[in-house]
Chains A and B, each alone.
Chain A
Amino acid sequence: MTKSVSAANVPASTVNRATYLKHLLTQASAAADESGLPLKEIRDRAIASVSDRSFPSGKDEAWRFTDLSEMLSHPFERAAQAVYAEQPSLQTSARLVESRYQLTSINGHYVPALSSPSPDTAQSVTIAPLSELIAADDYAKTLAPIISKRLASIQGGEEVFTALNTAGFNDVMVVWVRADQVLDEPICIVRNAQEGVIAHLRTLVIAEPHASFTLLESFSGESGAGDRPRCNNSVAEIWLAEGAQINHIRLQDESAQTFHIAKTAVDQAANSRYQCTAIDLGAQLSRHHLEVYQSGPQTDTHLYGLSALQGRQLADTHSLLTVTYPHSSATQVQKNIVDDRAHAVFNGRVFVAQAAQMTDAAQINRNLMLSSKARIDTKPELDIVADNVKCAHGATVSQLRADEVFYLQSRGISAEQAQRLLLYGFAMEIVEKISVPSLRQSLSDRLTEWAR
């Protein structure tokens, strides 16, 4: 069963940015109405934010290298439900890793058959869609106060795609782990899309003091007949209370026609540790806003990213690390591999406020170009007000080095295999940060094949 996308009200060729954004907001509001979630206040605020803003163009500094014009010719509509064709590949992508904690959505709608939730709020781990939690008798006294305090309240929510998401998500995947809980299995939020639709995917993660777990978000899509373009606009809000630790793995492996726009907004309280390993392999255009804010001192932050792109793919990582308390440390390593006419963008902003003395931060962006037609744009942005800090940054763009290839050849390895090994090594520095062994293995296999 497929819902056809009608372009009747938005003629593709003549659409302008204002009309297009209005169209997206109309679709978002309709999805919000259909969801039945009682979130009028935050929805209204989000609608106001969208109305105040315009659809990004190349004139916006933040979108200078990432051209969304192509999107304008696709009048995406919301999916009315989680329509999907049962197929073996879906089972595979939905069961990326074995875990007892999993929530799966298709086209933005929760799919119970592919999920294993923990909906009981009396337990120490609550993992379920908001649409189901809200129906529970004790919702008003257990979860409601937390939702109203945490949902759509991390800084930066007025950004246009984030606001569109808030205005239009049809459910929220909620992860709430109580104090001192250490989970031995990853929490998996699996996102699949099969239709030529737009979905506003929302995740809310709350780690109470000293909770510790791995969070895996995966985005994939089946390349169906015709492989119609689709758009996933994802927002994850992640709250770490004092001493909490989250190891976040983000795997973007969307189908080739997808526009993937995403925000990961993190709030770190004192002594918390957050690690993100973001792998971008899919989509025709992907943009990841990764923003980390602080609400206490001595936090530890590790941001690792790998984009491996070919054809005409574009992947854009826009990170913002805001350090406002003292004694924190942060490491960021973003690696990009671009082949053919692919294009990787990195904009890494680090802000260290006057109060954030003794900050120790290091950022590095390494790019490997396999083709002369590929393109890299890299822009570190350091804004340091505090005077007693250590902040290093660097960016490199290189090709595979001939002397490295020769070294391997001189050991009996063919030039082709040598190049593959070097590429693999370049990528593995990021992949090996992934703490789930089965996923690390499947990704390293993927990258071995990917490398030509």
Chain B
Amino acid sequence: MINENAKTILSVRNLHASVEGTEILRGLNFEVKAGEIHAIMGLNGSGKSTFSKVLAGHPDYEVTAGEVIFKGQNLLELEPHERANAGIFLAFQYPLEIPGVSNRDFLRVAYNAHRKANDEEEIDVFDFDDLVEERAGVVKMDVSFLDRSVNEGFSGGEKKRNEILQMALLKPLLSILDETDSGLDIDALKTVSGGVNQLSSPDNATVLITHYQRLLNYVVPDYVHVMCGGHIIKTGGKELALELESRGYDWLTAKEAVA
């Protein structure tokens, strides 16, 4: 939902970032206001996933220039967990498996870390159980998944649902979903999209990183950006995604190559 008067949540200016000495992001500009849903599309290697990891603070990526302002503060100064506690959430393309740690324990530790960081009292095991079982409903997750090790032996769809469950618990201000739709069958896609829509509000914002237009049938973006060569080369409305679907990226990237 676009509201010109809404507060700016994220402002990225001239961002450059490298991994192992190779520059991936090259002068990225990006701005997100409260209530908005953005889609970032682009071919493999265009820098979409790198951008999401830089925002979350992955240690392998080095920011070499530019600034990222989140809620008025310099995001790049914060440790990854501080960014999470400030309201950034990255749904992973490949969520990790943590053998031996139950999903329930993991979610509680994360939830309480947020509460503590925001000067709220930690909640006890029993209250948390009620809360997490209620939130599991957002992604139609069977509660038996809570007592299994984090993501261990989960199918692709179950892992992605688990990411959205974490989102439902942590209630982030800015959710970045990195290829959340990849590998999902249509039912899982509908469930995951339903969860994202349900969590979206005029106070928070969502960034969808995706290859395909398919997800955007279910989560309708306010803006669609095309990324190429480490920065955004075109921004449009939701109809841009449809155009990309039918015409491909060549007509945009060719122009970029000339420029």
What residues of chain A have their CB less than 8 Å away from a CB belonging to chain B?
Answer: 402-404, 406-415, 417-418, 421-422, 424-429, 432
The contact string, 1 if C-beta is below 8 Å from chain A, for chain B 102-141, is 0000100110011001000000000000000000000000
Chain A positions within 8 Å of B81 at CB level:
409-415, 418
A426, B89: Cα distance in complex, Å: 26
Chain B positions within 8 Å of A422 at CB level:
98, 101
A221, B211: Cα distance in complex, Å: 62
Q: Which of B84, B95, B101 contacts A412 (CB 8 A)?
A: B84
| Distance of A280 from chain B, by nearest CB (Å) | 18
Contact sample, A vs B, 18 pairs, CB 8 Å cutoff: A404-B98, A406-B56, A406-B59, A407-B98, A408-B110, A409-B57, A409-B79, A410-B80, A411-B81, A411-B113, A411-B166, A412-B113, A413-B84, A413-B109, A421-B101, A425-B98, A427-B100, A428-B101
Chain B positions within 8 Å of A410 at CB level:
56-57, 80-81, 83-84, 89-90, 92
Q: Which of A406, A425, A429 contacts B80 (CB 8 A)?
A: A406
3 nearest A-B residue pairs (beta carbon): A425-B100, A425-B101, A409-B80
A413, B101: Cα distance in complex, Å: 14
Interface residues of B in 48-81 (CB under 8 A from A): 56-60, 79-81
Known contacts A410-B84, A411-B110, A412-B85; 19 further A-B pairs (Cβ under 8 A) = A404-B96, A404-B98, A406-B56, A406-B58, A407-B92, A408-B106, A411-B81, A411-B113, A411-B166, A412-B84, A412-B170, A414-B79, A415-B80, A415-B81, A417-B109, A417-B113, A422-B98, A425-B101, A428-B100
* CB of B153 closer than 8 Å to a CB of A: no
A432, B147: Cα distance in complex, Å: 13
Chain A positions within 8 Å of B80 at CB level:
406, 409-410, 415
Scoring A414, A422, A425 by chain B CB atoms within 10 A of each residue's CB, the highest score goes to A425
The contact string, 1 if C-beta is below 8 Å from chain A, for chain B 155-192, is 00000000000100010000000000000000000000
| Distance of A340 from chain B, by nearest CB (Å) | 22
Q: Are A402 and B100 in contact (CB under 8 A)?
A: no
* CB of B46 closer than 8 Å to a CB of A: no
Q: Are A412 and B110 in contact (CB under 8 A)?
A: yes
A408, B84: Cα distance in complex, Å: 10
* CB of B149 closer than 8 Å to a CB of A: yes
A417, B85: Cα distance in complex, Å: 14
Chain B positions within 8 Å of A414 at CB level:
79, 81, 113
| Distance of A444 from chain B, by nearest CB (Å) | 10
Q: Which of A421, A426, A427, A428 contacts B106 (CB 8 A)?
A: A421
Chain A positions within 8 Å of B237 at CB level:
none
Chain A positions within 8 Å of B95 at CB level:
407
Residue of B nearest to A429 (CB): B100
A414, B96: Cα distance in complex, Å: 17
A418, B84: Cα distance in complex, Å: 14
* CB of B99 closer than 8 Å to a CB of A: yes
Given A404-B96, A425-B100, A426-B100, check contact A412 B117 (CB 8 Å): yes
Q: Are B84 and A424 in contact (CB under 8 A)?
A: no
Interface size on B, residues (CB 8 A): 29
A330, B114: Cα distance in complex, Å: 44
Residue of A nearest to B53 (CB): A406
Q: Are A429 and B99 in contact (CB under 8 A)?
A: yes
A324, B257: Cα distance in complex, Å: 71
| Distance of A426 from chain B, by nearest CB (Å) | 6
| Distance of A342 from chain B, by nearest CB (Å) | 20
Q: Are B98 and A413 in contact (CB under 8 A)?
A: no
Chain A positions within 8 Å of B170 at CB level:
411-412
| Distance of A62 from chain B, by nearest CB (Å) | 31
Q: Are B96 and A424 in contact (CB under 8 A)?
A: no
Q: Are A424 and B110 in contact (CB under 8 A)?
A: no
Scoring B56, B81, B90 by chain A CB atoms within 10 A of each residue's CB, the highest score goes to B81
| Distance of A239 from chain B, by nearest CB (Å) | 33
A432, B56: Cα distance in complex, Å: 33
A412, B90: Cα distance in complex, Å: 11
A406, B55: Cα distance in complex, Å: 13
Q: Are B59 and A402 in contact (CB under 8 A)?
A: yes
A304, B196: Cα distance in complex, Å: 42
| Distance of A429 from chain B, by nearest CB (Å) | 4
Q: Are A421 and B84 in contact (CB under 8 A)?
A: no
Chain B positions within 8 Å of A418 at CB level:
81
| Distance of A416 from chain B, by nearest CB (Å) | 10
| Distance of B20 from chain A, by nearest CB (Å) | 14
Given A409-B79, A412-B81, A412-B113, check contact A424 B100 (CB 8 Å): yes
Q: Are A421 and B96 in contact (CB under 8 A)?
A: no
| Distance of B177 from chain A, by nearest CB (Å) | 13
Q: Are B99 and A426 in contact (CB under 8 A)?
A: yes
Residue of B nearest to A416 (CB): B81
Q: Are B99 and A425 in contact (CB under 8 A)?
A: yes
Chain B positions within 8 Å of A411 at CB level:
81, 84, 106, 110, 113, 166, 170
Chain B positions within 8 Å of A428 at CB level:
100-101
Chain B positions within 8 Å of A425 at CB level:
98-101, 149
Residue of A nearest to B169 (CB): A411
A402, B56: Cα distance in complex, Å: 14
Chain A positions within 8 Å of B101 at CB level:
421-422, 424-425, 428
A425, B100: Cα distance in complex, Å: 4
A427, B100: Cα distance in complex, Å: 7
A408, B114: Cα distance in complex, Å: 12
Q: Which of B79, B96, B114, B149 contacts A407 (CB 8 A)?
A: B96
Chain B positions within 8 Å of A402 at CB level:
59-60
| Distance of A335 from chain B, by nearest CB (Å) | 10
Q: Which of A403, A409, A432 contacts B84 (CB 8 A)?
A: A409
| Distance of A109 from chain B, by nearest CB (Å) | 39
A432, B95: Cα distance in complex, Å: 24
| Distance of A277 from chain B, by nearest CB (Å) | 15
Interface residues of B in 12-63 (CB under 8 A from A): 56-60
A429, B100: Cα distance in complex, Å: 5
A402, B92: Cα distance in complex, Å: 15
Chain A positions within 8 Å of B92 at CB level:
407, 410
A417, B109: Cα distance in complex, Å: 9
Residue of B nearest to A431 (CB): B100
Scoring B59, B101, B149 by chain A CB atoms within 10 A of each residue's CB, the highest score goes to B101
